[in-house]
């Protein structure tokens, strides 16, 4: 489907007899944040154990593998590659042994100065084994002259810029860190005497843990046998919570940035109905992404909500297309229209985003083919005009239809009778009172953390910007 790709999900647990099993379940709940690889590292106090695979969580581990991940503390990672290629060496957790001892790192986010740091270290003789920006953190850690591992971590992270929500395991400590801007979410929970850290609270729910609070932007949260403590070693920075977590990435049953995602997403739909009203008979969500916003749109507009498109949840990675072409097969195999709901009706389709427009165009066509009299498209966020540099896989700017086309042109391209987006103000009002605390760069092109131009090469971002464009504002 035509969406931004989620980045990574991270998890950590300290003080649980089934640490690896709990981590497995936590990753299972976070699978939507990364589907290319899954990995767990555990510590039994003497050494770290690690298992990683290029697979879904369910396929990456079995009972034997989990039994080998001994110890009462563990960290886990699901990954979709945003920086670095898709291969096992890049899968998390990244584990090294150095002067500070063994360490495993799970990283959600992108560092914007990784390439300049890497180049400097490579000129100095360093050998990198992966093409991820996360490995830069490990090199900086290994080189730190700080006495204790936690100080070496702070030393390393003081040198990087950009987005990082981390779960880190040493032989004796679980450490969770969030960058000072707070780009990506990171929550702390409690499971009996065990402490849990995870990208989204839906992972706490699955293992029966209770949400305690978020790791604060700029906080280093350390858990070991002596208890829990926090330090805030980084200077103050402008908050930049990724607003797209509320729009699309996070699961609606999660709380991120202290807000219910379901409530935020439903509010987006209500705001959309106020800003972009339309005379219609039925509101139909694009499943599953548009469901919450469609509920809000229907509530506010009074137009009944019907599930006029049904999603097939069993389309797997091994799917084989037929040799003979079938019209709109790619979309139809995932979404099928319900003729009894659509026939003769004026339909409002609601989705959470419109990236290239290719899928929306096909969906409008199959809804019309099912007999809809009018098809109106409503999008519960502003036009997406800029790529993300903070841990989200986005197409090049030239492929973002709203960056290169007017509203009318997009409307014509997707074949809708009308098209309406939520405004930036509407979006920010719907996600909560702290409007200034969000990153909205993919809607504005104004980036809260500047990055050097040559960074584009290492992070493979060059292609995402048009030639000669300013890279930092
Ligand atoms: S640019 Fe968009 S996707 Fe990236 S962090 Fe900012 S709001 Fe999130």
How many angstroms separate the alpha carbon of residue 386 from the centre of ligand 1?
9
Instruction: Report which protein residue has its CA nearest ligand 1's atom 8.
Output: 242
281 neighbors 299 (Cβ within 8 angstroms) = no
Residues in the chain: 473
The DSSP letter of residue 216 is P
424 neighbors 370 (Cβ within 8 angstroms) = no
Which residue shows structure tokens 């609601």?
350
Query: Could you tell me if the CB of 170 is within 6 A of ligand 1?
Result: no
Instruction: Report which protein residue has its CA nearest ligand 1's atom 2.
Output: 442
46 neighbors 52 (Cβ within 8 angstroms) = no
Instruction: Report which protein residue has its CA nearest ligand 1's atom 5.
Output: 242
Query: Could you tell me if the CB of 244 is within 6 A of ligand 1?
Result: yes
217 neighbors 239 (Cβ within 8 angstroms) = yes
Tokens of residue 162, six digits: 């950009």
Active site residue 8: yes
Tokens of residue 57, six digits: 């969580």
Q: Going residue by residue through the chain (473 aa), what tens digit of pLDDT does each one get?
A: 666 766 799 999 999 999 999 999 999 999 999 989 999 999 999 999 999 999 999 999 999 999 999 999 999 999 986 555 667 888 889 999 999 999 999 999 999 888 889 989 999 999 999 888 899 999 999 999 999 899 999 999 999 999 999 999 999 999 999 999 999 999 999 999 999 999 999 999 999 999 999 999 999 999 999 999 999 999 889 999 999 999 999 999 999 999 999 999 999 999 999 999 999 999 999 998 899 999 999 999 999 999 999 988 777 655 666 777 777 777 878 889 999 999 999 999 999 999 999 999 999 999 999 999 999 999 999 999 988 888 888 878 888 999 999 999 999 999 999 999 999 999 999 998 788 999 999 999 888 887 665 555 545 544 455 544 444 33
Count of other CB atoms within 10 angstroms of residue 2: 19
How many angstroms separate the alpha carbon of residue 242 from the centre of ligand 1?
5
Query: Could you tell me if the CB of 392 is within 6 A of ligand 1?
Result: yes
Torsion angle defined by CA atoms of residues 450, 139, 158 and 146, in that order, rounded to the nearest 10 degrees: -170
| Catalytic-role residue among 8, 202, 292, 439 | 8
265 neighbors 246 (Cβ within 8 angstroms) = yes
Count of other CB atoms within 10 angstroms of residue 206: 17
Count of other CB atoms within 10 angstroms of residue 425: 12
How many angstroms separate the alpha carbon of residue 205 from the centre of ligand 1?
26
How many angstroms separate the alpha carbon of residue 397 from the centre of ligand 1?
14
SS3 state of residue 220:
strand
Interatomic CA distance for residues 247 and 289, integer angstroms: 9
105 neighbors 48 (Cβ within 8 angstroms) = no
If one residue of 161, 185, 245, 441 were mutated to test the ligand 1 pocket, choosing by the most ligand atoms within 8 A of its CB, it would be 441
Interatomic CA distance for residues 202 and 206, integer angstroms: 6
Query: Could you tell me if the CB of 256 is within 6 A of ligand 1?
Result: no
Query: Could you tell me if the CB of 461 is within 6 A of ligand 1?
Result: no
374 neighbors 346 (Cβ within 8 angstroms) = yes
How many angstroms separate the alpha carbon of residue 456 from the centre of ligand 1?
17
């Amino acid at each position: 489907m035509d969406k931004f790709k989620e980045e990574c999900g991270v998890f950590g647990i300290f003080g649980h007899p089934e640490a690896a099993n709990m981590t497995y379940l936590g990753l299972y709940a976070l699978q939507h944040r990364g589907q290319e690889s899954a990995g767990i590292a555990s510590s039994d106090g003497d050494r770290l154990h690690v298992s990683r695979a290029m697979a879904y969580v369910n396929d990456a581990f079995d009972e034997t593998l989990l039994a080998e991940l001994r110890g009462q503390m563990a960290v886990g990672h699901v990954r979709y590659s945003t920086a670095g290629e898709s291969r096992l060496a890049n899968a998390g957790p990244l584990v090294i042994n150095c002067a500070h001892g063994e360490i495993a790192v799970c990283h959600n986010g992108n560092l914007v100065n990784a390439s300049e740091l890497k180049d400097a270290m490579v000129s100095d003789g360093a050998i990198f084994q992966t093409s991820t920006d996360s490995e830069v953190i490990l090199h900086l850690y290994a080189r730190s002259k700080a006495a204790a591992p936690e100080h070496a971590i702070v030393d390393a992270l003081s040198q990087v810029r950009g987005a990082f929500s981390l779960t880190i395991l040493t032989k004796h400590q679980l450490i969770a860190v969030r960058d000072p801007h707070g780009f990506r979410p990171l929550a702390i929970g409690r499971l009996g005497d065990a402490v849990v850290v995870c990208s989204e609270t839906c992972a706490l729910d699955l293992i029966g843990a209770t949400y305690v609070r978020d790791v604060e932007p700029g906080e280093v949260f350390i858990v070991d046998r002596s208890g829990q403590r926090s330090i805030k070693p980084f200077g103050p920075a402008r908050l930049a919570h990724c607003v797209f977590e509320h729009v699309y990435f996070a699961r609606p049953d999660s709380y991120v940035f202290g807000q219910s995602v379901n409530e935020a997403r439903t509010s987006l739909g209500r705001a959309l109905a106020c800003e972009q009203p339309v005379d219609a008979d039925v509101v139909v969500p694009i499943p599953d992404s548009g469901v919450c916003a469609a509920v809000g749109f229907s509530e506010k507009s009074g137009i009944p909500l019907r599930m006029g498109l049904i999603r097939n949840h069993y389309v797997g990675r091994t799917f084989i297309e037929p040799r003979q072409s079938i019209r709109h097969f790619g979309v139809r195999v995932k979404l099928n229209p319900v003729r009894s709901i659509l026939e003769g009706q004026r339909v409002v389709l609601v989705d959470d985003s419109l990236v290239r427009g290719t899928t929306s165009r096909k969906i409008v066509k199959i809804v019309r083919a099912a007999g809809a009299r009018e098809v109106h498209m409503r999008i519960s966020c502003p036009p997406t005009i800029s790529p993300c540099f903070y841990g989200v896989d986005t197409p090049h700017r030239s492929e973002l239809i709203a960056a290169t086309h007017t509203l009318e042109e997009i409307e014509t391209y997707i074949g809708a009778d009308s098209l309406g987006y939520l405004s930036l103000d509407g979006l920010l009002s719907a996600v909560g009172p702290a409007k200034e605390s969000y990153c909205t760069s993919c809607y504005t092109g104004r980036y809260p953390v500047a990055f050097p131009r040559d960074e584009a090469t290492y992070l493979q971002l060059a292609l995402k910007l048009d030639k000669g464009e300013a890279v930092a504002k």
